[in-house]
Amino acid sequence: MAEDVKRMAELLKSGAAMISKSCPVCASPLFKVGKDIICPRCNRPVVIVGIAEDEQRALGGKILEMVESTILGKIGELNELMKAEGDPERLRALGETLSVWLSALEKLRKLSAESGA
Ligand SMILES: [Zn+2]
């Protein structure tokens, strides 16, 4: 059995999980061991995940920004609807919707602050 295959088997046996990324050096599948990513062929930790996490965080921040602007737009639309609405029942429904959007906005801003975006 080749050394790297043996190591892969050992990694799997020890509870390591194969991840969808491959080693940038040898293109062998990578394994996640606790917080480390190990290449069984190079037999060393690989650091590509650190970069991927940064990218993911940046992307996450952009998505949160887009969601925030959507929510603000919807709140603006609701405001216009409420101004024009005279029926108490419809106003109540609009008010409830507004409250949903506002709490979504609150959660979103909290999330943005936590993720440092
Ligand atoms: Zn490798």
What pLDDT score was predicted for residue 74? 95
What pLDDT score was predicted for residue 21? 85
Q: Mean of the pLDDT values across residues 22-40?
A: 87
Distance 33 CA to ligand 1 centre (A): 15
Q: What percent of the chain has pLDDT over 70?
A: 90
Q: Which residues pair with 38 in a beta bridge?
A: 31, 45
How is residue 71 written in tokens?
């929510």
What pLDDT score was predicted for residue 60? 78
Report residue 51's pLDDT band, with 50, 70 and 90 as the boundaries: low
Q: Write down the domain spans for the chain.
A: 3-46, 50-115
Average pLDDT, the chain: 86
Residue 15 has pLDDT above 80, yes or no: yes
What pLDDT score was predicted for residue 117? 46
Cβ neighbourhood burial of 39 (10 Å; 0-12, 13-18, 19+): buried
Distance 18 CA to ligand 1 centre (A): 13
Distance 43 CA to ligand 1 centre (A): 7
Answer yes or no: are the C-beta atoms of 30 and 19 closer than 8 Å. Answer: yes
